[in-house]
Structure 1
Amino acid sequence: MAMALLCAAGPAAPQFTAPAGATLPALQGATADGKRLQLAAFQGRVVLVFYWATGCPVCRDKMKELRANLMGWRSQPFTLIGVNMDAQQQDWLDYERLVAQTTPASQRFASVWAGGSEFSDTMGRPLQLPSARLIDKRGQLIEAYQGRIPVEAWDRIADAL
């Protein structure tokens, strides 16, 4: 499966706000250790879905910021889910293995590979990486970001918590 996505180095594109009453998004896939992940299981939590690839330096650079926010909100109803967009599953698996060896468990977040047969995502594939989708506690898509996640997004997440 070829992934021809632009890796954005510049600032985030304008955010998208979903219309009121929008259909609940669905996302599912398998984690590197084979566990099934479903977005619906996180209703009642604020969820940030982060689309990334191992070959995207901007994406890898964001990981430290993502993990710091995950740690900061560990007592809050917040979940971070990664969606890896690599063309080759092995690239993602190698990265996940390295993270498991070098990153404390409390700073890791679930990630699924978009190329898997069990993967589905009704939010649509991003046009560039990194990208993110923000889901509120009701399970509704409230914002989407293209490129770097803007600072204001973290404030929006804090407000949604």
Structure 2
Amino acid sequence: MDRRQWMQFALTSALSSSAAMSPTLFAQDTKDIPKLTLSGVDANGKKIELTDFLGKTVLVSFFTAGCNLCSRDLKLMREFYVSNAKRNFVLLAVNIDPTKADFDQYSQLISLSIPKEQRFPMVWRNAPNHKDSFGIITRQPTHFVVSAKNEFIFKREGSFEPEDWDNLWTSLG
């Protein structure tokens, strides 16, 4: 049992005895979450599957091009990606803009402004051939951390918090 599982177990055990607490306040037990899937085409036309990254911790970030908070998070995540790519870490950006033109414009901006070694895979969720099991995204950005065994670790709606960075770092092993 790793540190995160132990902490979840301890917290759940301690608080489950309290009738005043609602179970909806707690994260869903990870064994109840199905394996996450994603299949699409990146900004360069390359087919991408979440299973392509087995053996690596994957941070899947859902964002829109015009979201300032998303831009801030992606900048920090790019720095983390560059520093940890050799530690079996992948950042996978999933654009949720409504139009392909918005996605293409953002992709072009990235290709012109970001050095090639700092770029990470990016897909457009609304593409006709895109499929994933991440559910409805209601906040921008929304991030999922997936283990090297393709198991859900945690989800953050909104900006990554300091403890999220710690948990991401720990998940790299």
TM-score by length of 1: 0.86
More strand by share: 1
Give the number of the structure whose residues are more often helix, by fraction.
2
Please tell me the root mean square deviation across aligned C-alpha atoms, in Å: 1.6
Judged with a 3 Å threshold, the aligned counterparts in structure 2 of structure 1 residues 150 and 156 are, in CA distance, closer, same or farther, namely same
Displacement after TM superposition at 1:16 (Å): 4.0
Relative distance call for 1:85 and 1:44 in structure 2 (3 A) is: same
Q: Take 2:26 and 2:127, find their aligned partners in 1: how far apart are those partners?
A: 28
Gaps in structure 2 of 5+ consecutive residues: 1-24
Distance in 2, matches of 1:27 and 1:51, equals: 12
Instruction: Indicate the structure (1 or 2) with the bigger Cα radius of gyration.
Output: 2
The aligned counterpart of 2:123 is: 112
- The farther-off stretch of 19-28 and 124-133 is 19-28
Residue 41 (1) aligns with residue 61 (2): no
Paired residue for 2:30?
19
Which structure carries more relative contact order (alpha carbon 8 Å, separation 6+)? Answer: 1
Between the aligned residues of both structures, percent identity stands at 26
- TM-score between both structures, scaled by the size of structure 2: 0.80
Write the letter of the residue equivalent to 1:82. Answer: A
Count of matched residue positions in the alignment of Structure 1 and Structure 2 = 148
In structure 2, the partner of 1:61 is 72
Tell whether 2:108 aligns with 1:134: no
